[in-house]
Amino acid sequence: MSATGPSRQSVPSGGSLASGSSLASGSALSPGQSLPSGSALPPGQSLPSGSALPSGQSLPPGGSAPAPTRRAQAGRGDAGLPWGSPVVYFVGLLLVALFLGPVLFIVLGGFRTNAQITSDPAGLPDPWVLTGYRTVITSSKFWNPALTSVIAAVCTTAGVVVLGVMAAFVLARYQFRGRGFFYSLFAAGLMFPLTVAITPLYTVISALKLLDKMAGVVLPGIAFALPTTIIILVPFLRVIPKELEEAAALDGLTRLGFFWRIVLPLSAPGLITVGVLAFVASWNGYMLPLFVFNTHTPTLPLGVAQFSTQYTQDTAQVLAYTSLSMMPAILFFSLFQRRIVGGLTGAVKG
C-alpha cells in the first residue's frame, strides 16, 4: 500500500512506510506503527499510542506525540520522589513518641495492678488486669460527671454552630457600615483566652446568678468559641457565587430560604470543623467548670481531679478513670479528622 495514497487512507497494522515517503494529509498510523527514517508527518497529524518517531525526526506544527504509557508515568513518578533526609524522619518519630507516649502509658496503666506500676512504672501489663476499668465503669463517680460533660458539650456545640453560622453569614454576604469593624472585633477575641478573662467573667456570672448552674458553663463556652468559629466560616460563605444567590432569588427563594437550602449544605465541611473543635474544647474544659460549679455535679476533667485526690494510693484505678474520661474526645476527633483538615483547608483557600 502506498504511503501517499488518497485522503483519509490509513497504514494497516503491521504495515510499513517506505524510507523517504510521507504520510498524506488525513492518513493515520495504526497503533504500534513507526515512521522510518526520512518519512514525514503532515501538519496537524498526531501519532497514535505506541507509535514512535525515528531518530532525528520532529513533529510538524500542530502535531502531537502519543501520551506516555501508564508504566512510563509510574516509572518517572517513582524516580522523582526522594526519600528525604533521615533527620526529618527521626524528628517526626520523636514527636509521635512524645505525643503518644503519655496516652499509651495512661491506657496501659489501667490494665495493671498497683504492684506492677510500683515495681516497673514503664512496663507492660503482665498479666493484664481488668479490675481498674471494671471498677470505674460500674461506679456512679464516673457516669454522673460524664453525663454533665455530655450535656455541657452538646449544648455548647449546638450554640456555637447555630450562632456562628448566622453571624458569619451576615458578615460574609451582607454589605453594611461597620462590617469590617465587627469582623475585626471577633478576630480580636482570639487574643483573650479564658485564663485571662476568668476573674471578670466570674464577677459577671455571679451578678447574673448563674453560679452552680449549667448555663454558667455553656454561655461563656459559646462566647469564647465564637471567634474561632466565625474566622473559619466567613471564608466558606464568602466564596459562594453571587450568581447562585441571584438564581435562587429568581426561583422565588428569600434570603432566609437561600440560607437554609443552599448555604448550609454548601458549608457543611466548615460546620463539621467548628462543631468538632467546639465539642472537644468543651469536653476538655477545666477552668470554667472549676469556678462555676460548687455543689453541682462536676464535669469529667473535674471528676478526674477529685477522683485522683480521693484514691491517691490506687494509681491503677486513677489511670483507668483518666483513660476513660479522655477516650470520647479522642475518638470523636479521630473520626472527623479528615473533615477537620478539609474544613480548615477550605477556610484558607477562601
**pLDDT for residue 336:** 74
**pLDDT for residue 283:** 92
Could you report the per-residue pLDDT of 191-214, keeping only the tens digit for each? 888 888 899 999 999 999 999 999
| pLDDT interval class at 189 (50, 70, 90) | confident
Residue 188 has a CB neighbour count (10 Å cut-off) of 10
Q: Which of 172-181, 202-211, 240-249, 305-314 has the highest mean pLDDT?
A: 202-211
Q: Measure the CA–CA gap between 93 and 97, rounded to whole angstroms.
A: 6
Those residues whose C-beta lies under 8 Å from the C-beta of residue 276, and which sit 6 or more positions away, are: 332, 333, 336, 339, 340
| pLDDT interval class at 8 (50, 70, 90) | very low
pLDDT at 125 over 70: yes
Average pLDDT over residues 268-284: 90
Higher pLDDT, 91 or 71: 91
For the domain spanning 140-349, the CATH number is 1.10.3720.10
pLDDT at 249 over 50: yes
20-42 in b/e burial notation, b at 16+ Cβ within 10 A? ebbbbeebbbeeebebeeebbbe
How far is the CA of 211 from the CAs of 145, 200, 203, 298, in angstroms?
17, 14, 10, 13
| pLDDT interval class at 4 (50, 70, 90) | very low
**pLDDT for residue 235:** 86
pLDDT at 6 over 50: no
Helix residue ranges per DSSP H, 284-314 = 287-292, 300-310
| pLDDT interval class at 58 (50, 70, 90) | low
Higher pLDDT, 310 or 16: 310
Would you kindly state where each structural domain of the chain is located, as residue ranges? 86-119, 140-349
| pLDDT interval class at 312 (50, 70, 90) | confident
Q: Measure the CA–CA gap between 20 and 37, rounded to whole angstroms.
A: 7
CA–chain centroid gap for 329, Å, is: 15
Give the three cell numbers for residue 160: 456555637
Q: Measure the CA–CA gap between 279 and 270, rounded to whole angstroms.
A: 14
